[in-house]
Structures are given as C-alpha cells and as structure tokens.
Amino acid sequence: MSKARKNRYTQIIERIFFSYYKEGAREISFEREDIQRAAKELAIKLPKNFGDVIYSFRYRVMLPESIRAKAPQGEMWVIRPAGRARYSFELAINQPITPNELLSETKVPDATPGLVAKYLLKDEQALLAKVRYNRLIDVFTGVTCYSLQNHLRTTTKSLGQIETDEVYVGVDKRGAHYVFPVQAKGRIDKLSIVQIEQDMAMCKEKFPSLICRAIGARFIEDNLIALFLFEEGEKGVSLSVEKHYRLVLPDEVTNEDLNVYLTRPL
C-alpha cells in the first residue's frame, strides 16, 4: 500500500471509529455506508473498491495507533463482520499468530512441478500452490484431502460476505468426512484470528455434517512453510497444533532425519 493511500485509509477508519466510540466500549458497530460518509466529511476521494478500506485493516495492516491506544492492556481492537454490509470494532486478546521460531522443522521432498515453480509469484497464491502440490494438508492432518475450491466467496447469515483462500475436503481411515478451510499469508501479511472465526462459522453453515478443522498457512521462507491448526472451545478459537515443513530435494532427506522423525509423537 502506498503512503498516500495508507494515510487516506487511516483518516477514514479513525473518523468512523471515533464517531461512535465511547469510553469503556468493547464493541462499536458501523456500516459500509459509514466509509462513504467519512470520506465525504474529510473531503477524501474514495478508492473504486471502497470496501478495501475495511479489508486492509482486517488483514493487511494494523489499525492506527490512535485506535490501538483505546484498547485495555493485553487486548486489541479487531474488525469483525456483523451481517451484510455491517461490521463492528471489537476487543480481542492481543495474541498475534506468528510462527514459533523454536519449533523444529520437518523436511518434505518438494513435489512442486518445475514449470509451476518457475513462474510462481511470492504471494499467497504461491503458498497455496506449494501446499497443494506437496499435499501438506494431508501430511499435517493425517487425513486424505482434496482441494474443493480456491478463493471461496460466500455469504453467511451471521457474518455476511466472507472469503476463504482455499477449502479442502477429506476422509480418514474410519470413513469420517472433514472440511479444512485454509487461510494463507505471505511473510508480510498477518494471519488474523478473525479470519479463522469466519472460516469456522462458514463451515458450520455450509458443511454442517462435516468435521471442521480450520488451518492457517504462512511462509517463513520461500520453501519453509508454517501450518497452524485451530479449534473452538469455551474461550473461543485457540491454536492447537503448529508444524513447520521445509521443501527440499529428495536427497536432502537423510537417514538421520528419518530417525529423528520416528521419535516424534504423532
């Protein structure tokens, strides 16, 4: 995002937040139309896709410092969908989803087709392609998986329109069926717990008979991928499993590596 556009988005989101904020508030509702209203009040020209203002602060960049300063210690403001063309600023636990630097790696022979690897761009599409061709969802979950749809855009009754980067379906040795919504991020973009919550809500509505396991994927390096598995409990969404997979040439997986892997818990 250019500096000029970032400043424009910042001014708009601040105007919306402080138009409704009251001291001690934990949830602030607003509508898509508020973006247009704020831009008009500030005499700012909106982008053609003015919904990108909300998308940027939900997934790409942090909210402005002026808004973050209004969160109690240990919490942060996030933007959640609240129905069709409706959103809300809500307080959530301030716990970023980032790869654990101390976590051990697992080498996987790189099965990405050479022609695909040659033309991959270094973004979430490249990450999704490497995850797909190397069957990392299968390896990670222990379930035989198939990609159902890439960039699923749909609408839920509770949240309105949402987008999931990729959806896998799978079957285990018992014959049980699963759905794995995947959110993918490069090294710059942030993986948001809000996206994971949305994916879980989508699965409940669109795939009610399947076992839902939400997954996050992120590049650590070009050929080092972190996968996160989330579950939903009494306290909301939490991280249950994290693994790091390094894609290597077949000869780089040594007997010593295999012996180490044998000692790891399943």
Query: Higher-confidence residue: 8 or 111?
Result: 111
Confidence of residue 6 (pLDDT cuts 50, 70, 90): low
Q: Is 8 part of any domain? A: yes
Both 35 and 152 in a single domain?
Answer: no
Predicted local confidence at residue 58, as pLDDT: 79
Both 248 and 216 in a single domain?
Answer: yes
Both 118 and 81 in a single domain?
Answer: no
Both 83 and 152 in a single domain?
Answer: no
Burial class (CB in 10 A: 0-12, 13-18, 19+), 123: middle
What's this model's pTM, rounded to 2 decimal places? 0.78
Q: Give the CA count within 13 Å in the CB-facing half-sphere of 236.
A: 8
Both 80 and 164 in a single domain?
Answer: no
Helix H or strand E segment including 219: strand 214-221
Q: Is 125 part of any domain? A: yes
- Main-chain dihedrals φ then ψ at residue 76, nearest 5 degrees: -145, 155
> The domain containing residue 134 runs over which residues?
105-263
Q: Is 168 part of any domain? A: yes
Span 141-164, pLDDT tens digits: 999 999 999 988 887 776 777 889
Both 68 and 110 in a single domain?
Answer: no
Q: Is 18 part of any domain? A: yes
Q: What is the mean pLDDT of the chain?
A: 90
Give how many domains the chain has, as a whole number. 2
Span 75-94, pLDDT tens digits: 889 898 887 888 999 998 77
Q: Is 99 part of any domain? A: no
Q: Is 142 part of any domain? A: yes
Please say which residue of 93, 117, 150 terminates a domain. Answer: 93
pLDDT (average), residues 35-43: 93
Both 40 and 118 in a single domain?
Answer: no
Q: Is 98 part of any domain? A: no
CATH at 8: 1.10.10
Angle at which helix 3-20 crosses helix 33-42, to 10 degrees, equals: 110
Both 236 and 142 in a single domain?
Answer: yes
For 240-266, the DSSP string reads EEEEEEEEE-GGGS-HHHHHHHHHS--
Q: What share of the chain is helix, strand, coil (3-state, %, to 5)?
A: 35, 35, 30
Predicted local confidence at residue 236, as pLDDT: 76
Both 133 and 253 in a single domain?
Answer: yes
